[in-house]
Chains A and B, each alone.
Chain A
Amino acid sequence: MSLFSKSSRRGILPGFGLTLGVTLLYFVIIVALPLLAMLYKSVNLGWADFWTIVSSERALATYRITVGAAALATAFNALFGVLLAWVLVRYQFPGRRVLDAVVDLPFALPTAVAGLALVTVFSTNGWFGQYLEPLGVKVAYAPLGIALAMMFTSIPFVIRTVQPVLEDVATDVEEAARSLGASNWQIFSRIIWPAIFPAFIAGCSLSFARSLGEFGAIVFISGNLPFETEVMSLLVFIRLDEYDYPAAAALATVMLVTAFAMLFITNSIQAWQLRYAERS
Protein backbone atom coordinates (compact mmCIF):
# COMPACT_ATOMS: atom_id res chain seq x y z
CA MET A 1 0.00 0.00 0.00
CA SER A 2 2.77 2.37 0.85
CA LEU A 3 3.75 2.33 -2.80
CA PHE A 4 0.42 3.88 -3.82
CA SER A 5 -0.07 6.28 -0.95
CA LYS A 6 2.12 9.05 -2.30
CA SER A 7 -0.96 10.77 -3.69
CA SER A 8 0.64 14.19 -3.77
CA ARG A 9 2.88 13.05 -6.60
CA ARG A 10 -0.10 11.89 -8.66
CA GLY A 11 -2.10 15.09 -8.36
CA ILE A 12 -5.69 15.52 -7.29
CA LEU A 13 -7.57 13.52 -9.91
CA PRO A 14 -9.57 10.56 -8.62
CA GLY A 15 -9.81 7.08 -10.09
CA PHE A 16 -6.27 5.77 -9.84
CA GLY A 17 -7.24 2.70 -7.82
CA LEU A 18 -10.36 2.01 -9.88
CA THR A 19 -8.74 2.30 -13.31
CA LEU A 20 -5.64 0.43 -12.22
CA GLY A 21 -7.77 -2.37 -10.80
CA VAL A 22 -10.04 -2.64 -13.85
CA THR A 23 -7.14 -2.47 -16.29
CA LEU A 24 -5.08 -5.13 -14.55
CA LEU A 25 -8.05 -7.44 -13.95
CA TYR A 26 -9.22 -7.19 -17.56
CA PHE A 27 -5.72 -7.57 -18.95
CA VAL A 28 -5.03 -10.64 -16.81
CA ILE A 29 -8.32 -12.36 -17.66
CA ILE A 30 -8.53 -11.52 -21.36
CA VAL A 31 -4.88 -11.35 -22.45
CA ALA A 32 -2.36 -12.70 -19.93
CA LEU A 33 -4.11 -15.83 -18.68
CA PRO A 34 -4.73 -17.36 -22.14
CA LEU A 35 -1.15 -16.60 -23.21
CA LEU A 36 0.24 -18.18 -20.04
CA ALA A 37 -2.05 -21.21 -20.43
CA MET A 38 -0.58 -21.87 -23.85
CA LEU A 39 3.01 -21.33 -22.73
CA TYR A 40 2.36 -23.67 -19.79
CA LYS A 41 1.10 -26.34 -22.17
CA SER A 42 4.20 -25.86 -24.29
CA VAL A 43 6.61 -25.99 -21.34
CA ASN A 44 4.90 -29.15 -20.11
CA LEU A 45 5.88 -30.87 -23.33
CA GLY A 46 9.49 -30.96 -22.26
CA TRP A 47 12.37 -29.65 -24.32
CA ALA A 48 12.99 -32.83 -26.33
CA ASP A 49 9.40 -33.19 -27.54
CA PHE A 50 9.10 -29.47 -28.15
CA TRP A 51 12.25 -29.49 -30.27
CA THR A 52 11.16 -32.55 -32.26
CA ILE A 53 7.89 -30.82 -33.18
CA VAL A 54 9.27 -27.41 -34.05
CA SER A 55 12.22 -28.75 -36.03
CA SER A 56 10.28 -31.32 -38.05
CA GLU A 57 10.76 -31.19 -41.83
CA ARG A 58 7.22 -29.96 -42.36
CA ALA A 59 7.56 -27.22 -39.74
CA LEU A 60 10.89 -26.07 -41.21
CA ALA A 61 9.25 -25.84 -44.63
CA THR A 62 6.52 -23.59 -43.24
CA TYR A 63 9.12 -21.26 -41.67
CA ARG A 64 10.92 -20.99 -44.99
CA ILE A 65 7.74 -20.34 -46.97
CA THR A 66 6.31 -17.89 -44.42
CA VAL A 67 9.49 -15.84 -44.03
CA GLY A 68 10.17 -15.83 -47.78
CA ALA A 69 6.67 -14.70 -48.69
CA ALA A 70 6.62 -12.11 -45.88
CA ALA A 71 9.95 -10.70 -47.10
CA LEU A 72 8.63 -10.44 -50.66
CA ALA A 73 5.40 -8.81 -49.48
CA THR A 74 7.31 -6.36 -47.28
CA ALA A 75 9.70 -5.44 -50.08
CA PHE A 76 6.78 -4.60 -52.35
CA ASN A 77 4.97 -2.67 -49.61
CA ALA A 78 8.16 -0.75 -48.84
CA LEU A 79 8.33 0.61 -52.40
CA PHE A 80 4.57 1.03 -52.78
CA GLY A 81 4.35 2.64 -49.33
CA VAL A 82 7.01 5.27 -49.98
CA LEU A 83 5.49 6.06 -53.39
CA LEU A 84 2.00 6.50 -51.93
CA ALA A 85 3.15 8.47 -48.89
CA TRP A 86 5.13 10.77 -51.20
CA VAL A 87 2.26 11.28 -53.62
CA LEU A 88 -0.30 11.85 -50.84
CA VAL A 89 1.86 14.35 -48.95
CA ARG A 90 3.55 16.27 -51.75
CA TYR A 91 1.07 16.49 -54.60
CA GLN A 92 -2.34 18.02 -55.05
CA PHE A 93 -4.51 16.22 -57.56
CA PRO A 94 -8.16 15.37 -58.04
CA GLY A 95 -9.05 12.29 -55.99
CA ARG A 96 -6.26 12.72 -53.46
CA ARG A 97 -8.62 12.49 -50.49
CA VAL A 98 -10.26 9.39 -51.94
CA LEU A 99 -6.87 7.75 -52.48
CA ASP A 100 -5.91 8.67 -48.91
CA ALA A 101 -9.04 6.89 -47.62
CA VAL A 102 -8.80 3.89 -49.98
CA VAL A 103 -5.29 3.13 -48.72
CA ASP A 104 -6.80 2.03 -45.39
CA LEU A 105 -9.17 -0.43 -47.02
CA PRO A 106 -6.94 -3.48 -46.38
CA PHE A 107 -7.21 -2.79 -42.63
CA ALA A 108 -10.97 -2.31 -42.72
CA LEU A 109 -11.74 -5.23 -45.01
CA PRO A 110 -12.00 -8.61 -43.24
CA THR A 111 -9.14 -10.90 -44.20
CA ALA A 112 -11.50 -13.66 -45.32
CA VAL A 113 -13.17 -11.26 -47.75
CA ALA A 114 -9.77 -10.13 -49.03
CA GLY A 115 -8.69 -13.74 -49.54
CA LEU A 116 -11.86 -14.61 -51.41
CA ALA A 117 -11.53 -11.56 -53.66
CA LEU A 118 -7.83 -12.15 -54.39
CA VAL A 119 -8.22 -15.83 -55.22
CA THR A 120 -11.08 -15.00 -57.57
CA VAL A 121 -9.15 -12.26 -59.36
CA PHE A 122 -6.00 -14.38 -59.75
CA SER A 123 -7.52 -17.85 -60.38
CA THR A 124 -7.12 -19.45 -63.83
CA ASN A 125 -10.31 -17.84 -65.15
CA GLY A 126 -10.09 -14.70 -63.06
CA TRP A 127 -9.78 -11.10 -64.27
CA PHE A 128 -5.98 -11.10 -63.88
CA GLY A 129 -5.31 -14.84 -63.79
CA GLN A 130 -6.49 -15.43 -67.35
CA TYR A 131 -3.73 -13.14 -68.61
CA LEU A 132 -1.03 -14.08 -66.11
CA GLU A 133 -1.24 -17.87 -66.33
CA PRO A 134 -0.50 -18.09 -70.08
CA LEU A 135 2.64 -16.08 -69.27
CA GLY A 136 3.61 -18.75 -66.77
CA VAL A 137 2.90 -16.60 -63.73
CA LYS A 138 0.86 -18.68 -61.33
CA VAL A 139 -0.48 -16.74 -58.38
CA ALA A 140 -3.52 -18.56 -56.98
CA TYR A 141 -2.62 -21.81 -55.20
CA ALA A 142 1.08 -20.97 -55.49
CA PRO A 143 3.71 -19.33 -53.22
CA LEU A 144 3.21 -16.03 -55.05
CA GLY A 145 -0.41 -16.03 -53.86
CA ILE A 146 0.75 -16.22 -50.25
CA ALA A 147 2.97 -13.19 -50.78
CA LEU A 148 0.09 -11.39 -52.48
CA ALA A 149 -2.28 -12.07 -49.58
CA MET A 150 0.35 -10.88 -47.08
CA MET A 151 1.03 -7.82 -49.20
CA PHE A 152 -2.64 -6.87 -49.42
CA THR A 153 -3.31 -7.18 -45.69
CA SER A 154 -0.29 -5.06 -44.73
CA ILE A 155 -0.34 -2.32 -47.40
CA PRO A 156 -1.16 0.56 -45.01
CA PHE A 157 1.73 0.07 -42.54
CA VAL A 158 4.58 1.77 -44.44
CA ILE A 159 2.30 4.49 -45.83
CA ARG A 160 0.86 5.39 -42.44
CA THR A 161 4.23 5.48 -40.67
CA VAL A 162 6.07 7.46 -43.36
CA GLN A 163 3.25 9.91 -44.16
CA PRO A 164 3.27 11.98 -40.92
CA VAL A 165 7.07 12.19 -40.89
CA LEU A 166 7.16 13.31 -44.51
CA GLU A 167 4.60 16.01 -43.68
CA ASP A 168 7.00 17.33 -41.05
CA VAL A 169 10.06 17.51 -43.29
CA ALA A 170 10.71 21.23 -43.53
CA THR A 171 10.52 22.39 -47.11
CA ASP A 172 12.81 25.35 -46.39
CA VAL A 173 15.77 22.99 -46.06
CA GLU A 174 14.95 21.60 -49.49
CA GLU A 175 14.63 25.08 -50.93
CA ALA A 176 17.98 26.03 -49.44
CA ALA A 177 19.56 22.93 -50.96
CA ARG A 178 17.94 23.64 -54.30
CA SER A 179 19.12 27.25 -54.37
CA LEU A 180 22.63 25.97 -53.60
CA GLY A 181 22.40 23.87 -56.74
CA ALA A 182 21.47 20.45 -55.40
CA SER A 183 19.83 18.12 -57.88
CA ASN A 184 16.46 16.50 -57.19
CA TRP A 185 18.15 13.21 -56.52
CA GLN A 186 20.60 14.81 -54.09
CA ILE A 187 17.75 16.50 -52.24
CA PHE A 188 15.89 13.21 -51.94
CA SER A 189 18.84 11.07 -50.95
CA ARG A 190 20.58 13.56 -48.63
CA ILE A 191 17.67 15.40 -47.00
CA ILE A 192 14.35 13.59 -47.34
CA TRP A 193 15.45 9.98 -47.17
CA PRO A 194 17.46 10.32 -43.92
CA ALA A 195 14.47 12.06 -42.31
CA ILE A 196 11.94 9.38 -43.22
CA PHE A 197 14.26 6.39 -42.90
CA PRO A 198 13.53 5.45 -39.25
CA ALA A 199 9.77 5.66 -39.87
CA PHE A 200 10.22 3.65 -43.05
CA ILE A 201 12.06 0.88 -41.21
CA ALA A 202 9.44 0.90 -38.45
CA GLY A 203 6.69 0.55 -41.07
CA CYS A 204 8.52 -2.29 -42.79
CA SER A 205 8.96 -4.20 -39.55
CA LEU A 206 5.27 -3.78 -38.70
CA SER A 207 4.37 -5.01 -42.17
CA PHE A 208 6.72 -7.99 -41.90
CA ALA A 209 5.44 -8.93 -38.42
CA ARG A 210 1.84 -8.79 -39.59
CA SER A 211 2.67 -10.93 -42.62
CA LEU A 212 4.29 -13.63 -40.47
CA GLY A 213 1.06 -14.14 -38.55
CA GLU A 214 -1.47 -13.70 -41.36
CA PHE A 215 -4.01 -16.48 -41.75
CA GLY A 216 -7.44 -15.44 -43.05
CA ALA A 217 -6.45 -14.14 -46.46
CA ILE A 218 -3.86 -16.88 -47.03
CA VAL A 219 -6.10 -19.94 -46.50
CA PHE A 220 -8.22 -18.90 -49.46
CA ILE A 221 -5.41 -18.35 -51.95
CA SER A 222 -2.52 -20.60 -50.93
CA GLY A 223 -3.83 -24.03 -51.85
CA ASN A 224 -2.45 -25.30 -48.54
CA LEU A 225 -0.08 -27.97 -49.84
CA PRO A 226 2.43 -29.24 -47.25
CA PHE A 227 6.05 -28.31 -48.12
CA GLU A 228 4.87 -26.02 -50.93
CA THR A 229 2.22 -23.51 -49.92
CA GLU A 230 1.76 -24.13 -46.22
CA VAL A 231 2.47 -21.25 -43.84
CA MET A 232 3.09 -21.35 -40.07
CA SER A 233 -0.39 -20.24 -39.02
CA LEU A 234 -1.94 -22.83 -41.32
CA LEU A 235 0.13 -25.69 -39.89
CA VAL A 236 -1.01 -24.71 -36.39
CA PHE A 237 -4.60 -24.82 -37.59
CA ILE A 238 -4.12 -28.21 -39.27
CA ARG A 239 -2.58 -29.68 -36.10
CA LEU A 240 -5.62 -28.47 -34.14
CA ASP A 241 -7.93 -30.05 -36.68
CA GLU A 242 -6.08 -33.33 -36.20
CA TYR A 243 -6.47 -32.98 -32.40
CA ASP A 244 -2.67 -32.94 -32.15
CA TYR A 245 -2.78 -30.36 -29.37
CA PRO A 246 0.88 -30.64 -28.23
CA ALA A 247 2.09 -29.88 -31.75
CA ALA A 248 -0.35 -26.95 -32.05
CA ALA A 249 0.89 -25.55 -28.73
CA ALA A 250 4.56 -25.90 -29.67
CA LEU A 251 4.15 -24.31 -33.12
CA ALA A 252 1.94 -21.53 -31.78
CA THR A 253 4.62 -20.85 -29.16
CA VAL A 254 7.21 -20.44 -31.93
CA MET A 255 4.88 -17.93 -33.60
CA LEU A 256 4.30 -16.11 -30.31
CA VAL A 257 8.01 -15.85 -29.53
CA THR A 258 8.67 -14.61 -33.07
CA ALA A 259 5.90 -12.03 -32.67
CA PHE A 260 7.38 -10.80 -29.37
CA ALA A 261 10.83 -10.57 -30.94
CA MET A 262 9.34 -8.51 -33.79
CA LEU A 263 7.49 -6.35 -31.25
CA PHE A 264 10.74 -5.73 -29.40
CA ILE A 265 12.54 -4.83 -32.63
CA THR A 266 9.74 -2.52 -33.75
CA ASN A 267 9.58 -0.80 -30.37
CA SER A 268 13.34 -0.28 -30.39
CA ILE A 269 13.17 1.19 -33.88
CA GLN A 270 10.34 3.49 -32.87
CA ALA A 271 12.25 4.64 -29.78
CA TRP A 272 15.22 5.33 -32.06
CA GLN A 273 12.94 7.21 -34.46
CA LEU A 274 11.64 9.34 -31.57
CA ARG A 275 15.16 10.24 -30.42
CA TYR A 276 16.05 10.95 -34.03
CA ALA A 277 13.06 13.25 -34.45
CA GLU A 278 13.85 15.12 -31.23
CA ARG A 279 17.46 15.66 -32.22
CA SER A 280 16.67 17.18 -35.59
Chain B
Amino acid sequence: MQNAVNPAVPATLQSPRHGRPPSRAVHWLLIASAILLSMLFIGVPMLVIFTYAFRGGVAVYLSQITQPATLHAIWLTVLTALVVVPINMLFGICVAWLVTRFRFPGRQLLITFVEIPFSVSPIVAGVTYLFLYGSQGLLGPLLDSYDIKIMFTVPAIFLVSLFVTSPFVARELIPLMQAQGSEDEEAAITLGATGLQTFFYVTLPNIRWALLYGAVLCNARVMGEFGAVSVVSGAIRGQTNTLPLQIELLFNDYNVTGAFAASSTLALIAVVTLVLKAILERKQGG
Protein backbone atom coordinates (compact mmCIF):
# COMPACT_ATOMS: atom_id res chain seq x y z
CA MET B 1 0.00 0.00 0.00
CA GLN B 2 1.18 3.49 -0.78
CA ASN B 3 0.34 4.71 2.69
CA ALA B 4 2.52 2.35 4.65
CA VAL B 5 3.93 4.15 7.62
CA ASN B 6 7.59 3.34 7.78
CA PRO B 7 9.85 5.49 5.70
CA ALA B 8 11.72 3.50 3.14
CA VAL B 9 14.96 4.16 4.98
CA PRO B 10 16.56 0.89 6.03
CA ALA B 11 17.17 0.76 9.77
CA THR B 12 20.90 0.20 9.20
CA LEU B 13 21.21 3.60 7.56
CA GLN B 14 19.68 5.40 10.48
CA SER B 15 22.43 6.82 12.62
CA PRO B 16 21.65 7.53 16.28
CA ARG B 17 21.50 11.21 15.42
CA HIS B 18 18.41 10.63 13.27
CA GLY B 19 14.93 10.37 14.71
CA ARG B 20 13.67 6.81 14.92
CA PRO B 21 10.37 5.69 13.43
CA PRO B 22 7.75 4.76 16.04
CA SER B 23 8.44 1.35 17.53
CA ARG B 24 6.40 -1.73 16.71
CA ALA B 25 5.06 -1.65 20.25
CA VAL B 26 3.45 1.74 19.68
CA HIS B 27 1.90 0.51 16.42
CA TRP B 28 0.31 -2.48 18.02
CA LEU B 29 -0.78 -0.52 21.07
CA LEU B 30 -2.65 1.95 18.86
CA ILE B 31 -4.13 -0.79 16.69
CA ALA B 32 -5.21 -2.77 19.74
CA SER B 33 -6.85 0.21 21.42
CA ALA B 34 -8.66 1.17 18.18
CA ILE B 35 -10.01 -2.37 17.82
CA LEU B 36 -10.87 -2.67 21.51
CA LEU B 37 -12.78 0.62 21.62
CA SER B 38 -14.62 -0.22 18.41
CA MET B 39 -15.59 -3.60 19.85
CA LEU B 40 -16.78 -2.05 23.11
CA PHE B 41 -18.80 0.78 21.61
CA ILE B 42 -19.92 -0.64 18.25
CA GLY B 43 -19.44 -4.41 18.33
CA VAL B 44 -21.04 -5.14 21.69
CA PRO B 45 -24.27 -3.19 21.05
CA MET B 46 -24.56 -5.04 17.73
CA LEU B 47 -23.97 -8.38 19.44
CA VAL B 48 -26.52 -7.67 22.16
CA ILE B 49 -29.27 -7.17 19.56
CA PHE B 50 -28.91 -10.64 18.08
CA THR B 51 -28.20 -12.31 21.43
CA TYR B 52 -31.36 -10.94 23.01
CA ALA B 53 -33.45 -11.54 19.89
CA PHE B 54 -32.59 -15.24 19.94
CA ARG B 55 -32.49 -15.55 23.74
CA GLY B 56 -35.63 -17.70 23.81
CA GLY B 57 -34.64 -19.81 20.83
CA VAL B 58 -35.55 -19.66 17.17
CA ALA B 59 -39.20 -20.62 17.73
CA VAL B 60 -39.78 -17.69 20.10
CA TYR B 61 -37.95 -15.38 17.70
CA LEU B 62 -40.17 -16.41 14.81
CA SER B 63 -43.33 -16.07 16.87
CA GLN B 64 -42.25 -12.54 17.88
CA ILE B 65 -41.42 -11.51 14.33
CA THR B 66 -44.71 -12.86 12.99
CA GLN B 67 -46.90 -11.01 15.46
CA PRO B 68 -49.50 -9.22 13.30
CA ALA B 69 -48.46 -5.74 14.52
CA THR B 70 -44.77 -6.39 13.85
CA LEU B 71 -45.49 -7.93 10.45
CA HIS B 72 -47.56 -4.90 9.57
CA ALA B 73 -44.78 -2.59 10.71
CA ILE B 74 -42.30 -4.48 8.52
CA TRP B 75 -44.67 -4.16 5.57
CA LEU B 76 -45.19 -0.43 6.13
CA THR B 77 -41.44 0.14 6.46
CA VAL B 78 -40.76 -1.69 3.19
CA LEU B 79 -43.60 0.18 1.47
CA THR B 80 -42.20 3.53 2.64
CA ALA B 81 -38.78 2.66 1.25
CA LEU B 82 -40.33 1.54 -2.06
CA VAL B 83 -42.10 4.88 -2.39
CA VAL B 84 -39.41 7.22 -1.04
CA VAL B 85 -36.16 5.84 -2.46
CA PRO B 86 -37.10 6.00 -6.19
CA ILE B 87 -38.48 9.53 -5.81
CA ASN B 88 -35.32 10.73 -4.09
CA MET B 89 -33.18 8.97 -6.71
CA LEU B 90 -34.94 11.01 -9.40
CA PHE B 91 -34.55 14.17 -7.36
CA GLY B 92 -30.87 13.43 -6.78
CA ILE B 93 -30.27 12.92 -10.50
CA CYS B 94 -32.08 16.17 -11.30
CA VAL B 95 -30.10 18.20 -8.77
CA ALA B 96 -26.78 16.66 -9.79
CA TRP B 97 -27.44 17.25 -13.50
CA LEU B 98 -28.45 20.83 -12.80
CA VAL B 99 -25.51 21.84 -10.64
CA THR B 100 -22.76 19.90 -12.43
CA ARG B 101 -23.76 20.47 -16.07
CA PHE B 102 -24.71 24.16 -15.92
CA ARG B 103 -23.31 27.34 -14.41
CA PHE B 104 -25.90 29.78 -13.18
CA PRO B 105 -26.25 32.43 -10.49
CA GLY B 106 -27.18 30.90 -7.13
CA ARG B 107 -25.73 27.49 -7.99
CA GLN B 108 -23.59 27.25 -4.84
CA LEU B 109 -26.50 28.44 -2.71
CA LEU B 110 -28.72 25.75 -4.22
CA ILE B 111 -26.20 23.03 -3.27
CA THR B 112 -26.22 24.33 0.31
CA PHE B 113 -30.03 24.45 0.37
CA VAL B 114 -30.37 20.91 -0.92
CA GLU B 115 -28.26 19.68 2.02
CA ILE B 116 -30.40 21.45 4.65
CA PRO B 117 -32.35 18.34 5.68
CA PHE B 118 -29.07 16.80 6.90
CA SER B 119 -28.70 19.53 9.51
CA VAL B 120 -32.30 19.54 10.69
CA SER B 121 -33.04 17.38 13.72
CA PRO B 122 -35.50 14.59 12.86
CA ILE B 123 -37.85 15.87 15.56
CA VAL B 124 -37.84 19.34 14.02
CA ALA B 125 -38.51 17.81 10.59
CA GLY B 126 -41.59 16.10 11.99
CA VAL B 127 -42.75 19.29 13.71
CA THR B 128 -42.46 21.31 10.48
CA TYR B 129 -44.82 18.87 8.71
CA LEU B 130 -47.24 19.10 11.60
CA PHE B 131 -47.39 22.86 11.17
CA LEU B 132 -47.95 22.55 7.43
CA TYR B 133 -50.52 19.75 7.15
CA GLY B 134 -51.84 19.39 10.70
CA SER B 135 -55.18 20.87 11.70
CA GLN B 136 -53.21 23.59 13.56
CA GLY B 137 -51.01 24.07 10.53
CA LEU B 138 -50.81 26.44 7.60
CA LEU B 139 -52.71 24.25 5.14
CA GLY B 140 -54.82 22.57 7.84
CA PRO B 141 -58.04 24.59 7.32
CA LEU B 142 -57.79 24.20 3.54
CA LEU B 143 -57.26 20.44 3.77
CA ASP B 144 -60.09 20.14 6.31
CA SER B 145 -62.50 21.91 3.99
CA TYR B 146 -61.81 19.30 1.31
CA ASP B 147 -61.91 16.55 3.93
CA ILE B 148 -58.33 15.52 3.18
CA LYS B 149 -56.35 14.12 6.09
CA ILE B 150 -52.59 13.88 5.78
CA MET B 151 -51.30 14.10 9.35
CA PHE B 152 -51.22 10.80 11.22
CA THR B 153 -51.71 8.83 8.02
CA VAL B 154 -49.35 6.77 5.87
CA PRO B 155 -48.81 9.60 3.31
CA ALA B 156 -47.46 11.77 6.16
CA ILE B 157 -44.83 9.08 6.80
CA PHE B 158 -43.90 9.13 3.10
CA LEU B 159 -43.65 12.93 3.04
CA VAL B 160 -41.49 13.31 6.12
CA SER B 161 -39.24 10.46 4.94
CA LEU B 162 -38.84 12.28 1.62
CA PHE B 163 -37.73 15.36 3.57
CA VAL B 164 -35.23 13.57 5.78
CA THR B 165 -33.53 11.59 3.00
CA SER B 166 -33.78 14.04 0.08
CA PRO B 167 -30.03 14.91 -0.06
CA PHE B 168 -28.61 11.34 0.05
CA VAL B 169 -28.45 10.56 -3.68
CA ALA B 170 -27.54 14.10 -4.74
CA ARG B 171 -24.65 14.15 -2.27
CA GLU B 172 -23.12 11.03 -3.86
CA LEU B 173 -23.71 12.13 -7.46
CA ILE B 174 -22.57 15.77 -7.36
CA PRO B 175 -18.84 15.20 -6.62
CA LEU B 176 -18.67 12.30 -9.09
CA MET B 177 -20.39 14.10 -11.97
CA GLN B 178 -18.33 17.20 -11.23
CA ALA B 179 -15.14 15.18 -11.51
CA GLN B 180 -16.24 13.37 -14.65
CA GLY B 181 -17.02 16.59 -16.51
CA SER B 182 -19.50 16.88 -19.37
CA GLU B 183 -17.31 16.17 -22.42
CA ASP B 184 -18.85 12.72 -23.02
CA GLU B 185 -22.37 14.10 -22.98
CA GLU B 186 -21.46 17.06 -25.16
CA ALA B 187 -19.94 14.66 -27.70
CA ALA B 188 -23.14 12.60 -27.71
CA ILE B 189 -25.31 15.67 -28.25
CA THR B 190 -23.04 16.94 -31.01
CA LEU B 191 -23.33 13.57 -32.75
CA GLY B 192 -27.10 13.96 -32.75
CA ALA B 193 -28.26 12.03 -29.68
CA THR B 194 -31.37 13.29 -27.92
CA GLY B 195 -31.21 14.42 -24.31
CA LEU B 196 -32.77 11.17 -23.06
CA GLN B 197 -30.48 9.01 -25.19
CA THR B 198 -27.50 10.92 -23.86
CA PHE B 199 -28.64 10.39 -20.30
CA PHE B 200 -29.40 6.66 -20.61
CA TYR B 201 -26.43 5.65 -22.78
CA VAL B 202 -23.72 8.06 -21.60
CA THR B 203 -24.46 9.51 -18.17
CA LEU B 204 -26.22 6.61 -16.44
CA PRO B 205 -23.50 4.00 -17.11
CA ASN B 206 -20.96 6.44 -15.67
CA ILE B 207 -22.87 7.16 -12.48
CA ARG B 208 -24.70 3.87 -11.84
CA TRP B 209 -22.58 2.71 -8.89
CA ALA B 210 -22.71 6.08 -7.15
CA LEU B 211 -26.44 6.21 -7.82
CA LEU B 212 -26.91 2.77 -6.31
CA TYR B 213 -24.69 3.71 -3.40
CA GLY B 214 -26.77 6.80 -2.68
CA ALA B 215 -29.94 4.72 -2.96
CA VAL B 216 -28.59 2.15 -0.47
CA LEU B 217 -27.76 4.87 2.08
CA CYS B 218 -31.13 6.55 1.45
CA ASN B 219 -32.89 3.22 1.98
CA ALA B 220 -31.13 2.55 5.27
CA ARG B 221 -32.15 5.95 6.59
CA VAL B 222 -35.77 5.66 5.39
CA MET B 223 -36.21 2.27 7.03
CA GLY B 224 -34.61 3.41 10.26
CA GLU B 225 -36.06 6.90 10.62
CA PHE B 226 -37.55 7.31 14.07
CA GLY B 227 -37.87 10.90 15.31
CA ALA B 228 -39.52 12.49 12.28
CA VAL B 229 -41.87 9.58 11.72
CA SER B 230 -42.83 9.39 15.38
CA VAL B 231 -44.13 12.98 15.23
CA VAL B 232 -46.25 12.61 12.09
CA SER B 233 -47.43 9.01 12.23
CA GLY B 234 -49.52 9.04 15.37
CA ALA B 235 -48.13 5.52 15.90
CA ILE B 236 -51.46 3.78 15.47
CA ARG B 237 -50.90 0.08 16.04
CA GLY B 238 -51.40 -1.97 12.91
CA GLN B 239 -51.92 1.18 10.82
CA THR B 240 -49.20 3.81 10.94
CA ASN B 241 -46.51 2.08 12.96
CA THR B 242 -43.21 1.63 11.17
CA LEU B 243 -40.62 -0.83 12.42
CA PRO B 244 -38.61 1.66 14.54
CA LEU B 245 -41.82 2.86 16.20
CA GLN B 246 -42.92 -0.73 16.77
CA ILE B 247 -39.59 -1.34 18.55
CA GLU B 248 -40.26 1.50 20.96
CA LEU B 249 -43.82 0.33 21.53
CA LEU B 250 -42.74 -3.24 22.32
CA PHE B 251 -39.99 -1.93 24.61
CA ASN B 252 -42.46 0.26 26.51
CA ASP B 253 -44.77 -2.78 26.79
CA TYR B 254 -41.88 -4.62 28.52
CA ASN B 255 -41.74 -7.07 25.63
CA VAL B 256 -37.94 -6.97 25.42
CA THR B 257 -37.60 -10.08 23.29
CA GLY B 258 -40.16 -8.75 20.84
CA ALA B 259 -38.37 -5.41 20.67
CA PHE B 260 -35.05 -7.13 19.98
CA ALA B 261 -36.60 -9.47 17.42
CA ALA B 262 -37.96 -6.45 15.55
CA SER B 263 -34.59 -4.69 15.97
CA SER B 264 -32.71 -7.64 14.55
CA THR B 265 -34.40 -7.15 11.17
CA LEU B 266 -33.24 -3.52 11.03
CA ALA B 267 -29.78 -4.44 12.31
CA LEU B 268 -29.55 -7.01 9.53
CA ILE B 269 -30.48 -4.33 6.99
CA ALA B 270 -27.72 -2.13 8.46
CA VAL B 271 -25.16 -4.93 8.00
CA VAL B 272 -26.33 -5.56 4.43
CA THR B 273 -26.08 -1.82 3.79
CA LEU B 274 -22.45 -1.77 4.92
CA VAL B 275 -21.56 -4.80 2.80
CA LEU B 276 -23.21 -3.24 -0.27
CA LYS B 277 -21.46 0.04 0.53
CA ALA B 278 -18.06 -1.66 0.60
CA ILE B 279 -18.78 -3.46 -2.70
CA LEU B 280 -20.07 -0.33 -4.44
CA GLU B 281 -17.18 1.78 -3.22
CA ARG B 282 -14.76 -0.71 -4.73
CA LYS B 283 -16.69 -0.81 -8.03
CA GLN B 284 -16.71 2.96 -8.16
CA GLY B 285 -13.02 3.20 -7.33
CA GLY B 286 -11.97 0.48 -9.76
* A residues neighboring B (CB under 8 Å): 3-4, 9-16, 18-20, 22-23, 26-27, 30-31, 33-35, 37-38, 40-41, 80, 83-84, 86-93, 95, 97, 99, 101-114, 116-118, 120-121, 126-128, 151-152, 155, 167, 171, 174-175, 177-184, 186-187, 209, 212-216, 219-220, 233, 236-237, 240, 245, 248-249, 252, 255-256, 259-260, 262-263, 267
Contacts and interface: CB of A to CB of B under 8 A. Distances in A.
Given A13-B101, A30-B166, A34-B129, A259 B120 contact: yes
Nearest to A214: B121
Contacts of B185: 13
B259 interface: yes
A208 B114 CA distance: 21
A30 B163 contact: yes
Contact of A175 (B7, B37, B48): B7
B114 to A, nearest CB: 7
B119 interface: yes
B159 interface: yes
A112 B248 contact: yes
A23 B162 contact: no
A249 B124 CA distance: 9
A33 B132 contact: yes
Given A26-B94, A108-B273, A112-B245, 4 more contacts: A97-B278, A102-B274, A111-B226, A117-B46
Nearest to B267: A113
Given A23-B110, A37-B138, A178-B21, A12 B190 contact: yes
Contacts of B122: 213, 215-216, 233
B35 A99 contact: yes
A83 B33 contact: yes
Contacts of B220: 107-108
7 contacts: A30-B162, A87-B30, A101-B278, A109-B270, A113-B224, A155-B41, A259-B124
Contacts, number: 302
B282 to A, nearest CB: 10
B11 interface: no
Contact of B112 (A87, A108, A267): A267
B18 A13 contact: no
A221 to B, nearest CB: 11
A101 B277 CA distance: 8
A105 B18 contact: no
B137 A41 contact: yes
B17 interface: yes
B1 interface: yes
Interface-central residue, A41, A109, A179, A262, by most chain B CB under 10 Å: A109
Interface-central residue, A27, A252, A267, by most chain B CB under 10 Å: A252
Interface string B201-216: 0000000000000000
